[in-house]
């Protein structure tokens, strides 16, 4: 049975994943709400680890802030059909005892959500609102899903790029029609085979990455100033060995020019 049909017909499912923050497997009991209106590849669900009383009365605008983006756990999340998700039936022996919520509580929460006729529509409205808030991605690494599919010609060239020797990869990269692929191919060469790149390309990537690391504004990646601030938070609770490691790393980061506040 196709996964989309299975999810549409099932009340509670368990999604297996990996908690990268803690380095352990995770099992989430989810109640499928419906297919995303703008993209049929997402099935939006409610995480039954959260009590519906916390969000059931929220408006669509307020619910938009309860959608999982990145690593923060929130009650509204998506199962991405093209992401090869691992999903089990709630009663599957493989997941029994692995969900940190009692079966009776799960059943009560699922029943309460199903009785709320307006909640589903408000959640799907919230999904549309959250997508409208996204700005066009600034960096090439963020643009894989914003510029359409690659052409058949570029897909053929992409296969050749991976097959040829390192010293030929830049030549193949320059044949891509899609600017995203040209950039990402050069970035891959820069990371893995920098010696085959002309010096001007290496200097361009050096400057670009340093500029990102030295950014003082809030970013989606870890900047030097953010890393130093995090080290300063960890130092008071560190043991002698941990403190030595943190101080060594802090000294390494402080070699780069930072603002007086970051220092």
**For 137-176, what is each residue's pLDDT tens digit?**
666 665 666 666 789 999 999 999 999 999 999 999 999 9
pLDDT of residue 65: 85
Which structure tokens are listed for 90? 């709630």
DSSP reduced 3-state for 82: helix
> Does 93 score more than 60 pLDDT?
yes
Question: In this predicted structure, what is the pLDDT of residue 222?
Answer: 86
pLDDT at residue 261 in the model:
44
Determine the Cα–Cα distance for residues 57 and 44; give it in Å rounded to an integer. 18
Instruction: Note the pLDDT of residue 200.
Output: 96
Q: Is the pLDDT of residue 47 over 90?
A: yes
3-state class (DSSP) for residue 192: helix
d(CA 55, CA 64) in angstroms, rounded, equals 11
231-253 pLDDT tens trace:
999 999 999 999 999 999 999 99
> Phi then psi for 2, rounded to 5 degrees?
-55, 145
Region for 159 from its dihedrals, namely left if φ exceeds 0, alpha if ψ lies in -120 to 50, beta otherwise: alpha
End-to-end CA distance of the chain: 57
Q: Residue 14 has which token pair?
A: 């368990």
pLDDT at 68: 77
The Cα 212–Cα 226 span in angstroms is 12
For all residues of the chain together, what is the average pLDDT? 87
Share of the chain above pLDDT 90, in %: 52
The pLDDT of residue 146: 64
- Give the residue-averaged pLDDT of 94-103: 88
Inform me whether the pLDDT recorded for 262 exceeds 60. Answer: no
Same fold? 3-132, 140-213: no
pLDDT of residue 69: 66
- CATH for 3-132, options being 1.20.1250.20, 3.30.1520.20, 3.40.30.10, 2.30.30.100: 3.30.1520.20
Per-domain boundaries in the chain = 3-132, 140-213, 214-263
Decide if pLDDT at 136 tops 50.
yes
Q: How many other CB atoms are found less than 10 A from the CB of residue 99?
A: 19
Residues 28 and 49 sit within 8 Å (Cβ to Cβ):
yes
- Tell whether domain 140-213 is in CATH 1.20.1280: yes
Using 50, 70 and 90 to split pLDDT, how confident is the model at 46?
A: very high
Strands 13-19, 24-35: parallel, antiparallel or unpaired by DSSP? antiparallel
* CA–centroid distance for 3 within its chain: 22
Whether residue 263 is predicted with pLDDT greater than 60 in this model: the reply is no
Would you state the structure tokens that stand for residue 162, as one six-digit string?
């991976």
């Amino acid at each position: 049975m196709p996964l989309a049909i299975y999810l549409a017909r099932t009340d509670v499912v368990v999604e297996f994943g990996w908690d990268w923050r803690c380095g352990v497997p995770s099992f989430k009991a989810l109640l499928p709400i419906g297919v995303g209106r703008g993209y049929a590849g997402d099935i939006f669900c409610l995480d039954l680890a959260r009590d519906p009383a916390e969000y059931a009365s929220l408006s669509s605008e307020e619910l938009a802030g309860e959608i999982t983006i990145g690593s923060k756990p929130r009650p509204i999340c998506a199962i991405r059909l093209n992401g090869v998700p691992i999903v089990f039936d709630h009663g599957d022996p493989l997941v029994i005892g692995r969900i940190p919520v009692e079966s009776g509580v799960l059943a009560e929460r699922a029943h309460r959500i199903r009785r709320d006729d307006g909640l589903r529509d408000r959640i799907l409205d919230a999904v549309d609102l959250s997508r409208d808030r996204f700005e066009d991605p600034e960096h090439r690494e963020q643009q894989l899903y914003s510029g359409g599919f690659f052409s058949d010609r570029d897909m053929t060239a992409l296969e050749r790029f991976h097959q040829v020797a390192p010293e030929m990869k830049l030549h193949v990269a320059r044949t891509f029609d899609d600017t995203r692929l040209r950039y990402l191919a050069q970035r891959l060469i820069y990371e893995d085979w920098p010696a085959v790149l002309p010096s001007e390309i290496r200097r361009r990537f050096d400057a670009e990455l340093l500029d990102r690391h030295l950014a003082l504004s809030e970013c989606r990646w870890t900047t030097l100033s953010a890393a130093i601030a995090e080290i300063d938070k960890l130092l008071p609770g560190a043991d002698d060995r941990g403190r030595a490691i943190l101080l060594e790393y802090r000294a390494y980061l402080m070699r780069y020019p930072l603002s007086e506040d970051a220092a």
